[in-house]
């Protein structure tokens, strides 16, 4: 056995979070799953809870279940906010998708002050974010001011500063860059935006459940729950509004769930106090109970322990990439300083797509992002150091033998 593999086994033996691997469903122990940043594993508690939910709550309680279900968007939001965002109660709700929540909050922010209509974002923001912000600006009769971001370095404070002015309503960026893992300097950008009189809206999709974020200077945030929060495919997203701000904003997709008196069936819409006004229609209850279990599992593990293990996992991965893969043309495209890096590591290679297919054939699940990037997200809740070791050993073997070249270079529909 190599010294590096022994070190992985030693790190696993000393890992306080190791028992949490037993709390997720693992059907094939040979699979090295490094895509927890795209779809988290299924918690055992969630599987059990969904079974009970289907049999007893939906099947048994029928419509009477709503007396409890109705509170879930706010109560699950409070639990998620407390455990993963470090915010107080009454500021977070779980509903809709990231895309829809971003649309609601961004348009509300842009309409707050008619003198300000410009939205600032960057050209490396996640595609759905850019599509939403373009439409929000169009609806507001304005434009998106797109700043350039180096896809390895992450968003540049100087570029954001240069884009700010008295016409800017909103700065909307991602906290962890999906293509590099680079972290944006939230407090610094919040300060600059506020000096210019703009609000900030952060997309935390690639952070929540893995990377702590300090929202004490921010105004608005959204994020998803099917990545590190393990809520399951299509689980509802969350949105967060800083205390006091919701009253200044109108939900541009109003609905009865966000009205002050939902069952009064009033003729006129009066928004509910606080963040609840950003609810729209009937929420997906099975998804909400799954998010609740996912949040509770992460809360048990503790976000600071998760972050510490995540930093150790990604640092170990970078070390192996340097030792084994650099000579084969692989470049680490993520920040080397763990303070500037989120929960995933990106490796760049001209044959990345073929390498990703070869890894899958070897029971290592990475994901691939254009143009030539393998993205490895070792979720700290259930990934072992030895999984990282063995995945990287497979990648090295593929590069040494050229076995990946048997796969087509043309992309599949889902990469």
Ligand X SMILES: *Cc1c(COP(=O)(O)O)cnc(C)c1O
Question: Interface with ligand X by CB under 6 A: which residues?
Answer: 97-99, 126, 128-129, 174, 178, 203, 205-206, 224, 237
What tokens does 7 get?
């070190």
Long-range contact pairs involving 357-362 (C-beta distance under 8 Å, separation at least 24): 357/404, 357/407, 357/408, 358/398, 358/403, 358/404, 358/406, 358/407, 359/391, 359/394, 359/395, 359/398, 361/407, 362/394, 362/398
Catalytic residue among 20, 126, 257, 278: 126
Q: Between residues 116 and 344, which has the closer beta carbon with respect to ligand X?
A: 344
Candidate list 226, 238, 316, 382, residue with the active-site label: 226
CB of 183 to ligand X, least distance (A): 13
Measured from the CB atom, the residue of 130 and 191 that comes closer to ligand X is 130
Q: How far is the CB of 378 from ligand X (least distance, A)?
A: 17
Choose between 126 and 324: whose C-beta lies nearer to ligand X.
126
Q: How far is CA 256 from the centre of its chain?
A: 28
* Tokens 């279900």, located at residue: 69
Among the options 78, 124, 203, 367, which is catalytic? 203
Q: Is 226 a catalytic residue?
A: yes
C-beta closer to ligand X: residue 97 or 286: 97
Q: How far apart are alpha carbons 15 and 7 in whole angstroms?
A: 12
Q: How far is CA 204 from the centre of its chain?
A: 5
Give the DSSP letter of residue 252.
S
Considering only CA atoms, which of 109, 112, 71 is closest in space to residue 93? Answer: 71
- Choose, from 362, 375, 384, 396, the residue flagged as catalytic: 375
Contact (CB, 8 A) for 109 and 292: no
Question: Among 343, 338, 355, which Cα is nearest to 403's?
Answer: 355
Q: How far is the CB of 160 from ligand X (least distance, A)?
A: 17
C-beta of 128: minimal distance to ligand X in Å? 5
Q: Tokens standing for 122?
A: 């960057």
| Alpha-carbon span 8 to 252, nearest angstrom | 51
**Segment holding 368, helix H or strand E:** strand 367-369
Dihedral angle of Cα 54, 57, 60, 61, to the nearest 10 degrees? -150
CB-nearer residue toward ligand X: 152 or 203: 203
Q: How far is the CB of 41 from ligand X (least distance, A)?
A: 16
Encoding tokens for residue 325? 């893969």
Q: Catalytic site residue 126?
A: yes
CB of 102 to ligand X, least distance (A): 7
Of residues 17 and 288, the one with the C-beta less far from ligand X: 288
Task: Report, as residue numbers or ranges, the catalytic residues.
Answer: 126, 203, 226-227, 375
């Amino acid at each position: 056995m190599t010294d590096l593999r022994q070190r992985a086994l030693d790190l696993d033996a000393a890992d306080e979070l190791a028992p949490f691997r037993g709390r997720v469903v693992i059907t094939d122990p040979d699979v090295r799953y490094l895509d927890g940043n795209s779809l988290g594993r299924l918690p055992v508690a969630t599987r059990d809870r969904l079974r009970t939910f289907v049999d007893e709550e939906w099947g048994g309680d029928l419509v009477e279940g709503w007396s409890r279900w109705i509170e879930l968007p706010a109560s699950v939001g409070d639990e998620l906010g407390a455990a993963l965002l470090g915010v107080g109660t009454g500021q977070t709700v779980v509903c809709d998708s990231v895309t829809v929540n971003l649309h609601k909050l961004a348009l509300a922010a842009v309409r707050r002050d008619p003198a300000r209509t410009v939205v600032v974002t960057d050209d490396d923001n996640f595609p759905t974010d850019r599509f939403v912000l373009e439409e929000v600006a169009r609806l507001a009769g304005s434009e998106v001011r797109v700043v350039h971001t180096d896809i390895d370095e992450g968003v540049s404070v100087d570029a954001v500063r240069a884009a700010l002015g008295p016409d800017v309503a909103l700065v909307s960026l991602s906290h962890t860059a999906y293509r590099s893992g680079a972290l944006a300097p939230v407090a610094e950008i919040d300060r600059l935006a506020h000096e210019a009189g703009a609000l900030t809206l952060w997309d935390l999709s690639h952070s929540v459940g893995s990377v702590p974020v300090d929202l004490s200077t921010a105004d608005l945030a959204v994020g998803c729950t099917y990545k590190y929060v393990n809520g399951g495919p299509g689980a509802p997203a969350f949105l967060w509004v800083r205390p006091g701000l919701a009253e200044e904003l109108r939900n541009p997709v109003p609905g009865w769930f966000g009205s002050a008196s939902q069952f009064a069936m009033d003729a006129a819409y009066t928004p509910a106090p606080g963040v609840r006004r950003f609810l729209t229609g009937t929420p997906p209850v099975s998804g909400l109970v799954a998010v609740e279990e996912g949040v509770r599992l992460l809360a048990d593990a503790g976000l600071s322990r998760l972050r510490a293990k995540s930093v150790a996992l990604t640092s170990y991965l970078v070390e192996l990439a340097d030792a084994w893969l650099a000579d084969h043309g692989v470049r680490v495209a993520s920040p080397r300083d763990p303070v500037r890096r989120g929960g995933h590591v990106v490796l760049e290679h001209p044959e990345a797509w073929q390498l990703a297919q070869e890894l899958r054939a070897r029971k290592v699940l990475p994901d691939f992002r254009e143009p030539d990037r393998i993205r490895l997200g070792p979720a700290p809740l259930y990934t072992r150091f030895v999984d990282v070791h063995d995945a990287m050993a497979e990648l090295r073997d593929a590069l040494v033998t050229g076995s990946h070249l048997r796969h087509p270079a043309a992309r599949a529909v889902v990469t």
